[in-house]
Structure 1
Amino acid sequence: MADYSGGSLEADHLCVLVHGLWGNPNHMASVARALRAQYPPDQVYILVAKRNSGSFTYDGIELGGERVCLEIEEELEAIRSKGGNIKKLSIVGYSLGGLVARYAIGLLFARGVLDSVACMNFTAFASPFLGIRTPLRGWANQIWNVLGARTLCMSGRQLFGIDKFRDTGKPLLSVLADPNSIFMSGLAKFKRHTLYTNIVNDRSAVYYTTGISKIDPYADLSKVKVHYLQGWQDVILDPLDPVSPGAPPTDPEPLASLVEKWAKRVPFVLALTLFIPLAVVAFLVNSAVQTVRSSRRVRLHERGLAGIPVHDFRVNLWIKEIREAVEDAYENLNSSQKQEYLDEAGSAGSAGEEEDSDGSVGSASGRRILALERKQSRNQEAGGFPTLALAPYQFAAIQALDELDWRKYPVYIHKHRHSHAAIIVRMDKPGFEEGHVVLKHWVTQEFLS
């Protein structure tokens, strides 16, 4: 990492790289290499955040953001003390790191750090800006939304939107996207907002959340035609015209092709049968252990015993003082969704408006948001892409985030089923080569130096 991180004192641009859940600085190695190949040490200084490595990512977006904020401030001070002068700042987040970076940006804004630098690039690779709860139906959805939220400690609760952040009564993801918050005000200072989102095979963070979208045109690629960006064929789609309805297949799939397809799945099915039960048990045991450890770290952090002056970072979250009573609109999501898409007529059973099993109901503001989304969804359904049954806070986040004029690049990873890792070449592995195309596009076409 030392070969491509850091920089010289002549560099006036600091670029911060923030890894994701369960990650470590080495996960950002290919990102750092791509950046360094384009910009020498005397132009761009690279900081790879280190304080959130491994199980420390369980501790939540808030604590992670405070750690990253402190790292950035310490790095800026260290460079200044050696005679350097950073005039520009860029921040890159991967997966959960995109959310952690947004929290850190809000703190940097509130503490006046962003006033002393030109904010250049904020880039996110496969970052779940709307969380990772799924709007799909059925028992698998229930297991994912209920169990998943409770096996990733505080980070899990925040990613699934079942937390209530401080005294706001809202999920942290909602606060991060509030137009009146320090987080949105800080993010708005950056000249360019870019995101890269996988369209397939990203089970960690699916398209709608990483693409900040209320629809998913790529749910069935056999029904659409994708349009590639000129010069970046087979990997990056044209952001202005990424997809169009495709012609339906005229002939049924040959029997030989079907047999071959199922034969390839046999090893996978055997692996599920033999290893998944053991893996699930091991995962749950580890989750319990990590929950205890994370809770202990958070308690120490709150008491100021974890090496971070916590009170320095507990700033006012709001640019404008809004202290209205917040309705309890963000119910437990374990039973809030009963269908995949918003229905056209707005009948009972749509997301967020029905009564849940625990008796809670959606807020008036939530119902207004959903009513608007249903009206808009009728137009989208005519084009073949219905509106997903997201929660009210997710629709509100989409509306607020889209005000920042994102440059969104859909990515089609063909060669590997783990596109979440492949998009940034998280490790040197066969099949991840297409991620190098994504990184080259970022450093040559998107990164403002």
Structure 2
Amino acid sequence: MDFNTGTSHEAQHLCVLVHGLWGNPNHLEVMAHCLRAKHSQEKLHILVAKSNSGNFTYDGIELGGERVCQEIEEEIEKLTKAGQEIKRLSMVGYSLGGLVARYAIGLLHSKGFFERITPVNFTSFASPHLGVRTPLKGLHNHLWNVLGARMLSATSRQLFSIDNFRQTGKPLLELLGDPESIFINGLAKFERRVLYTNICNDRSAVFYTCGISKTDPFTHLDKVKITYLKGYKEVIVDPAAPVLPREPDPFDQTFYGSFVLWSKALVDRLPVLLALMIIIPLGTVVFIINSGYQSLKSSRRIRLYENGLAGIQPSDYRVPLLIKGVQEAVDDVYENLNSSQDNEYLAVDSEGEIETNGPSSPQSDRRQLAEDEASKPTQGKLEKSDPSKHVFPTLALAPYQFRVIDTLDSLGWRKYPVHIQQLRHSHAAIIVRVQKPRYSEGYEVFRHWLDEEFII
């Protein structure tokens, strides 16, 4: 399919769309067509990146970002030869594509790209900016965040932040969020940074990581009343005051009411329980075999890539990072495993000290960081509801994740929680990955983005 939809030489604004893990350009078909319906071919040229399609997303964020960077350069060169001058650039990433796009932005910045082309919009849809590790402490951390991190080759290690990127002693995601990195400096040049994050039923990337947040006000939806932006049905949550306290129902306090609530919760979790008991044991075997096979293929591709035998010269993109120096079934198994985890929080013990048993840092570092977090006022557009009524516990994130949150928030973001209700697979629905009626709430997300946030 031709996502550029037109041959006009007048458009000076290039918008690049980047798909997610295991994805392909067709996943962004509706997004591309919504963009075209809003902005004519004379105003906007659309490029849907295709170099990371399918299992090529196993190869890691770095290689993915380098491939997308090359695609952008080749597209602009092609347009220039045809007499079309690109003066403005926007980047849009879905899921893993948001991280790949951020890596590509850093490379473009390091090459002086933004000295001649103005960066305008950066938008992410359900992108795990803080990785995909579940906020867990102790044994749970090792069972899921460590074992799960070794299932998807280089990409998985980077998403779970167990990689040692270029022998720096830091994971790639930490470098992506380093205030002195080419990635943050490049992202800072964009006129507008916008993100959309699901508040529930996203089995791939949960709220805290997609919303760049230290708390999750949507953990118990039955205990809060969600407020929505006027004019966008009950889909786009008001970021200034996302939740209000819900008055307790006296019926819920009775024995029978408690039983009804317990039964409803059991029914809601029944698909996950069935998956854990029946589907996942069988699917996990397929998943592990496929992961091993794809990881082997990915390792071979990476070796060819590093030797310059994959149609791209890595040396063109290996710049200094710091300014100062059976696929649908496999996908479903992985998401169900991830969604079976529950968040844990930093707590205050009886003596007023923070309990910090989180991973990835010495104990003293965790304790000091947790104390610092406890003393800070809640920040960010997603967390501005009345603090006297809403005190949400701090998630048990890794220390580097708190630092990345602070760095990213310092750039300024327009953050929008999304409440997908018609489909339990909200990760796909937020971008209408499939053109079916149950995915229609994603059109409201696109309408808000294009009417309110996308600068042409």
Q: TM-score, normalised by structure 2?
A: 0.87
Q: Report if the CA contact (8 A) 1:425-1:433 is conserved.
A: yes
- 1:103-128 C-alpha deviation (Å, 9 max, x unpaired): 00000000111211111100000000
Q: Report if the CA contact (8 A) 1:12-1:86 is conserved.
A: yes
3-state DSSP of counterpart to 1:247:
coil
Confirm or deny that 1:21 pairs with 2:28.
Answer: no
User: Unpaired segments of 5 or more residues in structure 2?
Assistant: 326-340, 380-386
Q: Report if the CA contact (8 A) 1:109-1:186 is conserved.
A: yes
Which residue pairs with 1:371 in the alignment? 371
What amino acid is aligned across from residue 429 of structure 1 in structure 2?
Answer: K
**Residues 408 and 309 of structure 1, relative CA distance in 2, 3 Å threshold:** same
Which residue pairs with 2:397 in the alignment? 390
What amino acid is aligned across from residue 297 of structure 1 in structure 2?
Answer: R
Which residue pairs with 2:30 in the alignment? 30
Matches within 5 A, 1:325-344: 340-344=344-348
3-state DSSP of counterpart to 1:399:
helix
Which residue pairs with 2:384 in the alignment? none
Instruction: Tell me the CA shift for residue 240 of structure 1.
Output: 1.2
Instruction: Tell me the CA shift for residue 317 of structure 1.
Output: 1.1
Which residue pairs with 2:332 in the alignment? none
Q: Report if the CA contact (8 A) 2:346-2:356 is conserved.
A: no
3-state DSSP of counterpart to 2:439:
coil
Which residue pairs with 2:435 in the alignment? 428
Distance in 2 between residues matched to 1:265 and 1:43, nearest whole Å: 47
- 1:414-436 C-alpha deviation (Å, 9 max, x unpaired): 00000000000011134111001
Distance in 1 between residues matched to 2:297 and 2:153, nearest whole Å: 10
Which residue pairs with 1:280 in the alignment? 284
Q: Report if the CA contact (8 A) 1:377-1:386 is conserved.
A: no
Matches within 5 A, 1:268-417: 270=274, 272-321=276-325, 340-344=344-348, 345-347=352-354, 349-352=356-359, 361=362, 364=365, 368-376=368-376, 383-417=390-424
Q: Report if the CA contact (8 A) 1:198-1:420 is conserved.
A: yes
**Residues 94 and 263 of structure 1, relative CA distance in 2, 3 Å threshold:** closer
3-state DSSP of counterpart to 1:93:
strand
Distance in 2 between residues matched to 1:121 and 1:12, nearest whole Å: 14
**Residues 88 and 341 of structure 1, relative CA distance in 2, 3 Å threshold:** same
Distance in 2 between residues matched to 1:195 and 1:342, nearest whole Å: 26
- 1:277-331 C-alpha deviation (Å, 9 max, x unpaired): 221100000000011111111111111111111001000112123xxxxxxxxxx
3-state DSSP of counterpart to 1:120:
strand
Q: Report if the CA contact (8 A) 1:346-1:374 is conserved.
A: no
Q: Once the two structures are aligned, what percentage of the paired residues are identical?
A: 56
Q: Report if the CA contact (8 A) 1:338-1:350 is conserved.
A: no
User: Unpaired segments of 5 or more residues in structure 1?
Assistant: 322-336, 355-360
Distance in 1 between residues matched to 2:14 and 2:343, nearest whole Å: 45
**Residues 264 and 173 of structure 1, relative CA distance in 2, 3 Å threshold:** closer
What amino acid is aligned across from residue 155 of structure 1 in structure 2?
Answer: T
Which residue pairs with 2:330 in the alignment? none
Q: Report if the CA contact (8 A) 1:5-1:48 is conserved.
A: no
Instruction: State which drifts further: 405-414 or 237-246.
Output: 237-246
Q: Report if the CA contact (8 A) 2:119-2:191 is conserved.
A: yes
Instruction: Tell me the CA shift for residue 377 of structure 1.
Output: 7.7
What amino acid is aligned across from residue 126 of structure 2 in structure 1?
Answer: A
Distance in 1 between residues matched to 2:84 and 2:258, nearest whole Å: 65
Q: Report if the CA contact (8 A) 2:356-2:363 is conserved.
A: no
Distance in 2 between residues matched to 1:265 and 1:135, nearest whole Å: 20
Instruction: Tell me the CA shift for residue 30 of structure 1.
Output: 1.0
Distance in 1 between residues matched to 2:313 and 2:304, nearest whole Å: 11
Q: Report if the CA contact (8 A) 2:197-2:417 is conserved.
A: yes
Which residue pairs with 1:159 in the alignment? 159
Q: TM-score, normalised by structure 1?
A: 0.89
Which residue pairs with 2:228 in the alignment? 228
Distance in 2 between residues matched to 1:261 and 1:133, nearest whole Å: 25
Distance in 2 between residues matched to 1:180 and 1:23, nearest whole Å: 31
**Residues 313 and 261 of structure 1, relative CA distance in 2, 3 Å threshold:** closer
Instruction: State which drifts further: 123-132 or 231-240.
Output: 231-240
Instruction: Tell me the CA shift for residue 368 of structure 1.
Output: 3.8
Distance in 2 between residues matched to 1:377 and 1:352, nearest whole Å: 24
Distance in 2 between residues matched to 1:3 and 1:378, nearest whole Å: 41
- 1:90-149 C-alpha deviation (Å, 9 max, x unpaired): 000000000000000000000111211111100000000000001135876543312220
Which residue pairs with 1:76 in the alignment? 76
Distance in 2 between residues matched to 1:137 and 1:445, nearest whole Å: 40
3-state DSSP of counterpart to 1:71:
helix
Distance in 1 between residues matched to 2:280 and 2:17, nearest whole Å: 33
3-state DSSP of counterpart to 1:236:
coil
3-state DSSP of counterpart to 1:128:
coil
Which residue pairs with 1:214 in the alignment? 214
What amino acid is aligned across from residue 24 of structure 1 in structure 2?
Answer: N
Q: Report if the CA contact (8 A) 1:367-1:392 is conserved.
A: no
Instruction: State which drifts further: 169-178 or 339-348.
Output: 339-348
**Residues 347 and 43 of structure 1, relative CA distance in 2, 3 Å threshold:** closer
Instruction: Tell me the CA shift for residue 250 of structure 1.
Output: 2.0
Distance in 2 between residues matched to 1:136 and 1:375, nearest whole Å: 21
Which residue pairs with 1:188 in the alignment? 188
Which residue pairs with 2:382 in the alignment? none
The structure 2 residue matched to 1:437, chosen from 417, 441, 444, is 444
Distance in 1 between residues matched to 2:360 and 2:147, nearest whole Å: 23
Distance in 1 between residues matched to 2:234 and 2:225, nearest whole Å: 12
**Residues 5 and 109 of structure 1, relative CA distance in 2, 3 Å threshold:** farther
Q: Report if the CA contact (8 A) 1:18-1:101 is conserved.
A: yes
What amino acid is aligned across from residue 239 of structure 1 in structure 2?
Answer: P
Which residue pairs with 2:63 in the alignment? 63
- 1:359-410 C-alpha deviation (Å, 9 max, x unpaired): xx3575x654333113238997973301001111000000000011100000
- 1:239-271 C-alpha deviation (Å, 9 max, x unpaired): 111112222232124877876776687677556
